[in-house]
Amino acid sequence: GGGGGGRGGGMVRPRGGGGEASRGSRRGNRTITDLIVTRPQSLNSKKGTTGAPIALLANYFKILKKPEWNIYKYRVDLTPEVELLSHKKAIMRRQVAKLGSFQFDGTMIFSPYKYAADPLVLMDKDDKEEPIQITIRFVGDLLATDGQYTHLLNLIMRATIESLNMQRAYGPKGTKYFDAVQKIDINTQHLQIWPGFCTAIRQHERDIMICTELTHKVIRMENCYNVMQHYARDQEVVKKELIGKVVVTEYNNATYRIDDVDFSLTPSSSFAKKTGERITFLQYFRDRYNCTIRDTRQPLLVSRAKAKDVRAGRPEVLNLVPELCRLTGLTEEMRSNFRLMRDLAQHTRVKPDTRVKRFLELNRRIQNEDKAREVMKKWEMTLDKNLVELPARVLPAEVICFGNRHEEKPNNADWTGALTRNRLFETDKLTNWHCVCTNRDFGIVSKFISFLLNSARNSGLDMVDPRIIRIDNPRVQAYINAIEQACNDSTQIIMCVVPNQDANRYGAIKKRSCVERAVPTQVMLTKVMSNDKILKSVSAKIMVQMNCKLGNAPWTVKIPASGIMTVGFDVTYDVRDKRKSYGALVATMDLRQCNSYFSTVSQHSHGEEMSNFLVVNMMKALKQFQQIHHEPPKRIIFYRDGVGDGDLSHVMDFEVKKLANDLKALYGETAPKLTFIVVTKRINTRLFSKDMRGMVTNAPPGTVVDDVITLPERYDFFIVSQSTKEGTISPTCYNVVWDESGFSADKIQIWTYKMTHLYYNWSGNVKVPAVCQYAQKLAFLVGQFINQEPTHLMEKKLYFL
């Protein structure tokens, strides 16, 4: 973008109230792309009323701007045409003295100044001293309804934060900025943490605000050369270990993705500079960065630029020296290292009060450091110095219903204690089950089963001793043979005790039980059974899981309305074949009448339309509902997980409309009323409250936010459903994109919160409605381990817990 400079060259200072344009109108030769409006037209109010009022802080700063602050759009044409974006930007940077401050994206100028001449023609020279004509044509005011409006503000903020000497890195979740100066060394684990921020600006209910969240990059002390030395004899293994990894270069902290390893090149090889002169990599790094490369025979890494980076002037292929590249992120082995993850968590799980201090410190730097202040001043932008305050409500705690009609109100979204004191809400007789274990583990298993039977007695579950099948070794085939033996005995459930985590063995057990034999399995690790300190609590949890897999609910909540089917849907990829993915759907069968669930999975190939499978799965669930109740549901509340902002338009145009149309075609006037809600878990919003002493804490469970930081084009709300003892809690965002229910915003919020209490793998609230968590769990099991659709004979049970 453009830099600073004077305010001469035929400019007019902006005056307020630029011309209005309706959404979707055309300006110049381009159609303005709007925000995706998903707020139903019939909606009167998206605010609820139930709950105790509470004042919160959120990790947003308002962008304050002067009333006369307008931005104007101009199209730029260069004659003769210039191909490279970097060359275009260099030419336009030289025009700052004539044009004043502006941002340039390669085609358009965004400027706070109205130029007197239209078109405005300027002259410059290219790198060969040939004349270049610059023609600048006025396109129109940049309105808040333009998609480019927040894009421009984000560009300005990017320039501001980069002026604080932070390193920019792109990722799947947007732009992040890391502060290498503030790095934290964890010497015991040979790791380094770079703290940073991710930011995003957009129009919220009444104000344009910037959302600021903390992020961290984990850098390993080992470099790529160390990895190569470890696998030096096998080039294919070296490639497997390095391709796809992200590295940081030691000489300028730049981030690159490794696309290949070129064993034909070494640091002694030469390449052509822009001037045409050839130079070796050894000489280049010594001259440019004062880096001495020790091993002159190491192969070079290859990083290929994306198309947009090539247009911006980056070489299509970049060669990197392994010795100078440090790996980022964690390996699976690291993630399973308890001590390492604990040490990391001390720095990455930031408490609410510390988090707020860091937000305010970033704001202070933007306000006070000269370079950052200069960027903001050019654009006449200022940030509010304080985090935004907003009103919220805390919904009443739900009553948890156990067996014998006993009820308890949970403390802080956790009813583990109440679960151990009470009988389960529903139980069955478990009179025919098997346990498979090695001869070596027989003693440990026998002890655990006695604890398990005791937990069952206390909870009202009629469980007898299992028939134990002892195997000689822990090989896959030994477990498969034992499962076959147990299945021939009409078993209700099979427990498989395994000595260690082995994905192949686990997948084989689940494939045999979920695809070929239709019997629930409970897989357990020997080391969990052999830990006497946790034996009582583990046996209680396993007993609850086994009871659920038989089709029974351990607890429930009070359901105010009947005839409602609640649905969760999630999608995951097949780890073995990325061309395949699986859509998992889990539905309730009217929780007012019964606690049964229905689940189904469909496989689809890359490029196939997801909506077709979603509707087919939905029809299966409706058929099951009708078999139970002899009529369709009155309402369907559909929670769709796994939708990014970029997919929202597609979900609206295909999934939602097809589902609504097919329901009407199938049922006519008696069609269930559809409510379709997009659920987003991974968001940067954080909510804080203050306790009696003025200390910043997490917002309490049951907190609902439906104003200030919500979006005007959406029917959206945030709910904090769970609690945490460590770090800062993250709310979940719900976007109601279709609503025929006739329910008020209040009722939809309360229903959503109720549903977070019914995930039976955890005796507490979860982050999303239970049907979403079940769908995610089922999709993960199929995509990771089974790699094909489970048998339909398991559809009526939560076998995947």
Comparing 108-112, 663-667, 740-744, which segment has the lowest mean pLDDT? 108-112
How much is the average pLDDT of 502-509? 94
Domain check: are 637 and 751 in the same one?
yes
Could you report the per-residue pLDDT of 370-397, keeping only the tens digit for each? 999 998 888 878 899 999 999 999 999 9
Same domain for 562 and 466: no
pLDDT, tens digit (0-9, with 9 covering 90-100), for 452-490:
999 999 999 999 999 999 999 999 999 999 999 999 778
Torsion of CA 449, 451, 456, 457, to 10 degrees: 120
Lowest mean pLDDT among 201-205, 301-305, 642-646: 642-646
Strands 687-690 and 696-698: antiparallel
Answer yes or no: do 308 and 446 share one domain.
no
Q: Is residue 393 part of a domain?
A: no
Q: Give the end of a domain, one of 523, 549, 575.
A: 549
Is there a single domain that holds both residue 133 and residue 167? no
pLDDT at 17: 35
Identify residue 751 by its one-letter amino acid code.
W
- Is 656 in the same domain as 713? yes
| Phi and psi angles of residue 316, each rounded to the nearest 5 degrees, phi first | -65, -40
Backbone angles phi, psi at 300, to 5 degrees: -105, 150
Residue 186 within a domain: yes
Distance set, CA 356 to CA 16, 179, 208 (Å): 35, 18, 20
Which of 570, 590, 716, 746 is labelled catalytic? 570
Residue 350 domain flag: yes
Pairwise CA distance, residues 512 & 205, whole Å: 52
What the block records as the tokens of 569 is 């849907």
Tell me how many domains the chain contains. Answer: 4
The answer to whether position 398 is within a domain reads no
Of 536, 545, 555, residue with least CA distance to 455 = 536
The residues, any chain, with a CB within 8 Å of residue 572's CB and separated by 6 or more, are 581, 582, 584, 642, 776, 779, 780, 782, 783, 784
Same domain for 728 and 613? Answer: yes
Q: Which two tokens stand for residue 687?
A: 């909510």
Angle at which helices 147-162 and 370-378 cross, to 10°: 160
Same domain (yes/no): 578, 709: yes
Using the 3D structure, point to which of 110, 142, 174 is the last residue of a domain.
142
Which run of H or E residues covers position 482? helix 476-487
Identify which of 192-196, 418-422, 705-709 has the greatest average pLDDT: 705-709
CATH number, domain of 735, equals 3.30.420.10
Alpha helices, H only, 138-279: 147-162, 224-230, 235-242
* Mean pLDDT, residues 98-109 taken together: 87
Residues 543, 601, single domain; the answer is no
532 is catalytic: no
- In this structure, are 530 and 635 located in the same domain? no
For 10: left if phi > 0, alpha if psi spans -120 to 50, otherwise beta; the answer is left
pLDDT, tens digit, for every residue of 575-589?
Answer: 888 888 899 999 999
Are residue 671 and residue 731 in the same domain, yes or no? yes
The catalytic position among 641, 706, 716, 746 is 641
Report residue 303's pLDDT band, with 50, 70 and 90 as the boundaries: very high
Q: What is the pLDDT of residues 202-230, one digit of tens each?
A: 889 999 999 999 999 898 988 999 989 88
> Has residue 27 been placed in a domain?
no
**pLDDT band at 29; cut points 50, 70, 90:** very low
Tens digits of residue pLDDT in 400-415: 999 999 999 988 899 9
Q: 57 pLDDT exceeds 90? A: yes
Q: Whole-angstrom Cα distance, residue 207 to residue 388?
A: 10
Last residue of a domain, one of 113, 142, 171: 142
pLDDT of residue 36: 84
Structural domain for 3, as ranges: 1-14+69-142
Say what the pLDDT of residue 7 is.
33
pLDDT tens per residue, range 533-543: 899 999 999 99
Contact 359, 212 (CB under 8 A): yes
If asked whether residues 509 and 619 sit together in one domain, one would say no
| Range 617-645 average pLDDT | 94
pTM over 0.85: yes
Instruction: For residue 467, tell me if it sits in a domain.
Output: yes
Q: Is 321 helix (H, G, I), strand (E, B) or coil?
A: coil
Is 570 part of the annotated catalytic residue set? yes
pLDDT of amino acid 30? 32
Rounded to whole angstroms, how far apart are CA atoms 732 and 681?
Answer: 5
Does a structural domain hold residue 395?
Answer: no
Q: Contact at 8 Å (CB) between 125 and 131?
A: yes
Query: What is the distance between the alpha carbons of residues 562 and 325, in angstroms, rounded to a whole number?
Result: 60
pLDDT tens profile 288-298: 899 999 999 99
* 204 neighbors 711 (Cβ within 8 angstroms): yes
Average pLDDT for residues 280-287, to the nearest whole number?
93
Q: Other C-beta atoms within 10 Å of 339: how many?
A: 9
**pLDDT tens-digit profile of 115-129?**
989 999 999 987 778
Using CA atoms, how far residue 662 sits from 16, 78, 560, 665, in Å, is 50, 52, 28, 5
Examine the domain organization and report whether 597 and 645 are in the same domain.
yes
Residue 111 to residue 70: CA distance in whole angstroms? 8
The candidate with the shortest Cα–Cα distance to 146, out of 26, 269, 3, 16, is 26
Q: Which residue has the higher pLDDT, 226 or 105?
A: 226
490 within some domain: yes
Q: State the CATH number of the domain containing residue 472.
A: 3.40.50.2300
pLDDT bin (cut points 50, 70, 90) of residue 319 is: very high
Residue 148 and residue 44 in contact, taking contact as beta carbons nearer than 8 Å? no
Handedness of CA 692, 695, 700, 706 (dihedral sign): positive
Rounded Cα distance between 351 and 345, Å, is 11
Q: Which residue, 383, 373, 380, is CA-closest to 101? A: 380
pLDDT per residue as tens digits for the range 151-178: 888 888 988 998 998 988 765 556 789 9
- Give the pLDDT score at 540: 94
